[in-house]
Structure 1
Amino acid sequence: MTTRKPRSEALWGYAFIAPTGLGLAVFYLWPVLQTAYFSFTEWGVFGGHTWVGLENYARLAADPEVRQAVLNTVTYTVLGLLGIPVAIVFAALMNVPGLRGAGIYRTAFFLPVVTMPVAVAMLWRWLYNGDYGLVNQVLAVVGIDGPNWIADPDTALYALVVVGVWTSVGYNLIIFLAGMQAIPKETYEAAALDGAGRVRQFFSITLPLLSPTAFFISIVSVIGSLQLFDLVFVMTGSGQAARANPAYGRLQTVVQLFYERAFVTNDRGYAAAVVIALLVLIAALTILQFRLQRRWVHYV
């Protein structure tokens, strides 16, 4: 009787997780394995594929366009992490007891998160326009002749980072605000009795206790930034229209390169190699973040 009951409970457990496990296997694991296989093949114009071994990866290592796309993506990812301290500061300001209109502020900050990425890209494409964009019109009031932000190689990537930070601050702010509200108030009261002001409490209590939340946000932010596609695609287009942009080389990301190879030039085997390389890059950076987090926790 003691052995049948655990077996029965285990069977029921497997039965409950079977739908989710089957969905993950069919819609996630199998496509990854299939893409990995296709990365070792070459596709014909009318379909069909032949095994070419490591040829696609050899092309990948020697392709300067891939190196530039990886550099652009990593730069965007690193600069996009600046949105984390911005979100922490705004969350701390909104966590002040008795703040009037806190719900309105949360809604205003979170609105870009729930807005469709295409709408966000179209809005900022208009704002950044070099001829009639609102950004340059505001700069012209103070006598500054603004550039064509998306078409200028010196400003294109940084302008894209501003849009990415703007769209991510709301989500990060809500998570950090929840983490701050979970900190016991007694901790702040004890610190206040010891003479610690709000600034000292923020750096000595809030930030250390928010480190797990910041770690989670950093993981999500890095993975999301490395998969950047929709903003660039809507702002610059694809194919010849995108390549006509003088800043095309500074804006192309790894996912956009995958799209170009897979659906524009129909080089699907090479495109599969590109996306597998991106998967390896994401895994490597995630592992690096976990190791840095362990060292941080040990240091703290």
Structure 2
Amino acid sequence: MSTAQRARREWIWGYALVAPMAIGLAVFYLWPVVQTLYLSLTESGVFGGHTWVGLANFAELFGDAELLGALGNTLTYALLVLAGVPVSIVIAVLLNVRGLRGLSVYRTLYFLPVVTMPAAVGLTWRYLYNGDFGLINYLLAKVGIDGPYWMGDPKYAIYAIAVVGIWSSIGYNAVLFLAGLQSIPRPFYEAASIDGAGRMRQFFRITLPLLTPTTFFVMVITVISALQVFDLVYLMIDLNSPALAGSRTIVYLFYEKGFVQNQRGMAAAIAVLLLGLILVLTAIQFRLQKKWVHYE
């Protein structure tokens, strides 16, 4: 077999091995994106079918106060959940302590919220937040504080939901940080100890700088996940509650337009805007990471 024939055969086998994954991506990811882009430029009929309207859906959305409110709520939620990343770092450092009794039990407990069904999480926290007989207000009453109706007050709803989001994501982020911590060479800490550096100095001078690639990755996936929050809002807020206006997110607005009001073209336009928002924020994060993430 000649060299050219061998090279051609390798190319054929390479394409054959990649084909299943490429076909899956095209059918289940790229084609739905194309369909969504098309639907965003149409208007759905009452009995089916679509009418081409061009950019009318986007023009209507940008003048919709509900979209602006949902955008503000989504960004607020994302920033609050992002603020939980430092907590995950601290927990990962504590879980990385050698010789700690029951370490595997602690790791399991912190990771349990990640594998718990979102419906169970949302309904459990909804009970805890109940203004009349919830555990949180009961504990606050014990110290003389009159707790509000967390899930019924627009001023508190999005912040209460963000607490649940942070609680749900800490375990997953801690596992990622734990993997990053265990990849840091031990001689760095040994040399720092010989030089007289304490635990706190080692943390800020060694641990945090060498965790920056992991921190960047965690921040990116946390923001992307937070921008798509829906289940917690749907499960924890009543449909007729005044708090819905203060906690409605972009994905929840997509649900209302597409599945409640049957405005599928408008819902597709919201999905396209969300995709654009995720791309823009991710691009900004990648741009900023060049200034603070070092891969040497």
Give the structure-1-normalised TM-score: 0.96
| Matching residue's letter, 1:105 | Y
1:51 equivalenced with 2:47 (yes/no):
no
> What residue number does 1:176 align with?
177
Give CA-to-partner distance per residue, 1:130-163, whole Å, 9 cap, x none: 0010000011111111001011111111101100
Structure 1 residues 64-143: aligned runs within 5 Å: 64-143=65-144
Secondary structure of the structure 2 residue equivalent to 1:149:
coil
Structure 1 residues 140-289: aligned runs within 5 Å: 140-237=141-238, 242=239, 244-289=240-285
Q: Give, in whole Å, the separation in 2 of the partners of 1:50 and 1:150.
A: 39
Secondary structure of the structure 2 residue equivalent to 1:151:
coil
| Matching residue's letter, 1:19 | P
Secondary structure of the structure 1 residue equivalent to 2:293:
helix
Secondary structure of the structure 2 residue equivalent to 1:121:
helix
Q: Give, in whole Å, the separation in 2 of the partners of 1:85 and 1:185.
A: 22
Give CA-to-partner distance per residue, 1:211-264, whole Å, 9 cap, x none: 000111011101100000011111125xxxx1x211111110000000100010
> What residue number does 2:4 align with?
3
Q: Give, in whole Å, the separation in 2 of the partners of 1:169 and 1:83.
A: 7
Give CA-to-partner distance per residue, 1:75-130, whole Å, 9 cap, x none: 10011111110000011112112111110000000000000000000000000000
Once the two structures are TM-superposed, the CA of residue 297 in structure 1 deviates from its matched residue by 3.1
Q: Give, in whole Å, the separation in 2 of the partners of 1:3 and 1:249.
A: 66
Q: Give, in whole Å, the separation in 1 of the partners of 2:245 and 2:256.
A: 13
Q: Give, in whole Å, the separation in 1 of the partners of 2:84 and 2:55.
A: 39
| Matching residue's letter, 2:218 | I
**Kept in 1: contact 2:41–2:53 (CA 8 A):** yes
Secondary structure of the structure 2 residue equivalent to 1:247:
helix
Q: Give, in whole Å, the separation in 2 of the partners of 1:297 and 1:137.
A: 45
Once the two structures are TM-superposed, the CA of residue 277 in structure 1 deviates from its matched residue by 0.3
| Matching residue's letter, 2:61 | L
Gaps of 5+ in 2: none
Give CA-to-partner distance per residue, 1:57-89, whole Å, 9 cap, x none: 100110110010011001100111111100000
Q: Give, in whole Å, the separation in 2 of the partners of 1:133 and 1:227.
A: 28
**Kept in 1: contact 2:237–2:243 (CA 8 A):** no
**Kept in 1: contact 2:216–2:293 (CA 8 A):** no
Secondary structure of the structure 1 residue equivalent to 2:192:
helix
Give the structure-2-normalised TM-score: 0.98
Gaps of 5+ in 1: none
> What residue number does 2:64 align with?
63
Give CA-to-partner distance per residue, 1:33-52, whole Å, 9 cap, x none: 00000000001111011100
Q: Give, in whole Å, the separation in 2 of the partners of 1:62 and 1:271.
A: 15
| Matching residue's letter, 1:117 | P
Q: Give, in whole Å, the separation in 2 of the partners of 1:140 and 1:297.
A: 46
Once the two structures are TM-superposed, the CA of residue 4 in structure 1 deviates from its matched residue by 2.0
Q: Give, in whole Å, the separation in 1 of the partners of 2:185 and 2:112.
A: 29
**Kept in 1: contact 2:82–2:222 (CA 8 A):** yes
> What residue number does 1:13 align with?
14
| Matching residue's letter, 1:212 | P
